[in-house]
């Protein structure tokens, strides 16, 4: 299975964190459902052109958080995630994205009023088209 994860080599965020966040988002969003078999560490590393150590760390971190389960000789699978946990994680992801957008915008000189106006316009456009 090809996992839709992309690495941005120009990002200040470490590769393992980029992959980890994207996998978590795919699980939260339902793209990767309970029981989905993930590629082997070697396959996934080859697909992303990164180190096996990077993917091993991603899988271990997500397993420690309860998102994945590795069965010896069988592979790594997506675990069942409760709806409350999905809702909480979804909100946390949206908050993180919005905080990053605010930080980048203020670094470019935008003030609160400009951001609120632009955000309102974007919401209006999104929900009316």
Residue 49 DSSP label: T
pLDDT (tens digit per residue) in 71-111? 999 999 999 877 787 788 778 878 988 999 999 999 999 99
Q: Which of 20, 79, 77, 78 lies closest to 48, judged by CA?
A: 20
Give the CA diameter of the chain: 56
Residue 78 DSSP label: E
pLDDT at 84: 81
pLDDT at 83: 78
pLDDT at 55: 97
pLDDT (tens digit per residue) in 3-43? 999 999 999 999 999 999 999 989 988 899 999 999 999 99
pTM for this one? Answer: 0.71
Taking 80 as the threshold, does the pLDDT of residue 1 lie above it? Answer: no
Contact 46, 10 (CB under 8 A): no
Contacts of 16 (CB under 8 A, 6+ apart): 54, 57, 58, 61
Dihedral sign for Cα atoms in the order 21, 50, 32, 6: positive
pLDDT at 39: 96
Residue 73 DSSP label: T
SS3 13: coil
Contact 110, 69 (CB under 8 A): no
pLDDT at 87: 82
Taking 80 as the threshold, does the pLDDT of residue 112 lie above it? Answer: yes
Taking 80 as the threshold, does the pLDDT of residue 129 lie above it? Answer: no
């Amino acid at each position: 299975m090809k996992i839709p994860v992309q690495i941005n080599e120009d990002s200040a965020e470490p590769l393992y964190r980029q992959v980890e966040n994207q996998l978590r988002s795919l699980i939260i969003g339902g793209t990767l459902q309970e029981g989905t078999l993930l590629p082997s560490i070697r396959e996934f590393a080859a697909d992303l052109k990164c180190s096996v150590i990077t993917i091993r760390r991603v899988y271990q971190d997500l397993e420690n958080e309860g998102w994945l389960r590795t069965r010896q000789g069988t592979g790594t699978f997506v675990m069942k995630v409760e709806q409350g946990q999905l809702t909480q994680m979804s909100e946390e992801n949206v908050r993180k994205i919005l905080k990053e957008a605010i930080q980048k915008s203020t670094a470019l000189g935008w003030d609160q009023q400009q951001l609120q106006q632009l955000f309102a316009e974007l919401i209006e456009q999104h929900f009316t088209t």
